[in-house]
């Protein structure tokens, strides 16, 4: 397990999560909340598209670095020698990782074109319909780029490419993580720009937080279910959970996620209901702080995930 490998994998996961989660937030949370309060476009829209473009760029860069590390590992050479054309050709053409990497590159290129189109705004009634089509296509590609990471993980290696409960759980787990973590930044932006003295802005914030809470409950439930199945396959038993490096990393991940869950639950049960009346300014501040707190913990979780992906599972030890 190298520090470089951990950082590269963590960055790749983070970029895929930011890409998918931001677009999901826009389509499932921000736009419906804006429409139900009479707004045409949510204030987070430009930010979400910027987040998507930055995430896609980081996804491509970290993906290239990941390929470089895998090529060096497979060929048993130094990082410099791994750039030799024959080594890269062999990895890309003869390994599962390389073939999936090429497919994901094609998806990333198509998504870059779609995101470029989405920056354009044209007048006329057909614009909204066209934008929805482009948004749907971009969202589908972002989902595929995130979910396909599971196809090069421990679960896919264990089953030899055949979809089983373990791989299905991994797909659910990573998608749920993307929905939760990837949508935190635009939510924090909305809360930061909302003034409690602006009745219309406060109404949008209330509708957004309500929709985000629903998304969060669904995501956390799926995340927990997928994580439990993954732990059963990758760790095995309590002794391995406590007594192996992989198991201890799993414990660290669980503790970080629990800390995030405590913050999310406090928002849902305590602060969100207070977005009305005299308590609204304090509730907005608390919601914003908690969103940033969850985002910081999410970065720590992704670093742990980078270490887990770079380590041999306890059941293989």
Is 277's pLDDT higher than 80?
no
Is residue 89 pLDDT above 70, yes or no? yes
Checking if the pLDDT of 118 tops 50, the result is yes
> Average pLDDT of 4-31?
92
Q: Which domain holds residue 293?
A: 3-316
Neighbours of 81 (CB within 10 A): 12
Q: What is the mean pLDDT of the chain?
A: 84
User: What is the pLDDT at residue 222?
Assistant: 87
Supply the pLDDT for residue 122.
46
Q: Tell me phi and psi for residue 164, to 5 degrees.
A: -135, -170
Report whether pLDDT(171) > 60: yes
Note the pLDDT tens digit of each residue in 282-311: 888 888 888 888 889 888 988 888 888 777
- Residue 161 has a pLDDT of 45
Is residue 33 within 8 Å of 42, Cβ to Cβ? yes
Cβ density class 12-48: b for 16+ within 10 Å, e for less: bbbbbbbbbbbbbbbbbbbbebbeebebeebbbbebb
- Structurally, the chain folds into a number of domains equal to 1
Is pLDDT of 173 > 80?
Answer: yes
User: What pLDDT is attached to residue 26?
Assistant: 92
- Is residue 162 very low, low, confident or very high in pLDDT (cuts 50, 70, 90)? very low
Report the alpha-carbon distance of residue 227 to residue 221 in Å, rounded: 10
Q: Which pTM value belongs to this model?
A: 0.88
């Amino acid at each position: 397990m190298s520090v470089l490998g951990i950082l590269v994998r963590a960055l790749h996961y983070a970029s895929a999560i930011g890409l998918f989660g931001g677009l999901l937030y826009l389509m499932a949370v921000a736009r419906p909340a804006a429409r139900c309060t009479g707004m045409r476009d949510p204030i987070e829209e430009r930010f979400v598209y910027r987040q998507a473009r930055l995430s896609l760029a980081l996804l491509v860069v970290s993906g290239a670095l990941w390929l470089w590390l895998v090529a060096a590992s497979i060929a048993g050479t130094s990082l410099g020698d791994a750039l030799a054309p024959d080594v890269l050709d062999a990895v890309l053409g003869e390994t599962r990782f390389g073939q999936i990497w090429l497919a994901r590159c094609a998806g990333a290129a198509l998504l870059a074109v779609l995101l470029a189109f989405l920056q354009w705004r044209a007048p006329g009634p057909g614009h909204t319909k066209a934008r929805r089509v482009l948004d749907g296509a971009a969202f589908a590609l972002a989902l595929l780029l995130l979910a396909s990471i599971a196809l090069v993980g421990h679960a896919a290696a264990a089953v030899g490419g055949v979809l089983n409960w373990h791989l299905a759980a991994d797909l659910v787990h990573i998608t749920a993580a993307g929905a939760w973590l990837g949508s935190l930044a635009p939510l924090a932006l909305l809360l930061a720009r909302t003034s409690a003295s602006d009745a219309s802005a406060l109404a949008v914030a209330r509708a957004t937080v309500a929709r985000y809470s629903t998304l969060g409950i669904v995501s956390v439930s799926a995340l927990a279910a997928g994580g439990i199945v993954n732990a059963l396959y990758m760790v095995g038993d309590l002794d391995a959970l406590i007594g192996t490096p992989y198991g201890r990393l799993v414990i660290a991940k669980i503790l970080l996620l629990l800390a995030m869950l405590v913050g999310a639950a406090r928002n849902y049960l305590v602060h969100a209901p207070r977005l009305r009346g005299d308590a609204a300014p304090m509730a907005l501040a608390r919601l914003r702080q908690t969103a940033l707190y969850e985002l910081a913990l999410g970065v720590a979780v992704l670093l742990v995930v980078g270490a887990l992906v770079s380590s041999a599972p306890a059941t293989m030890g």
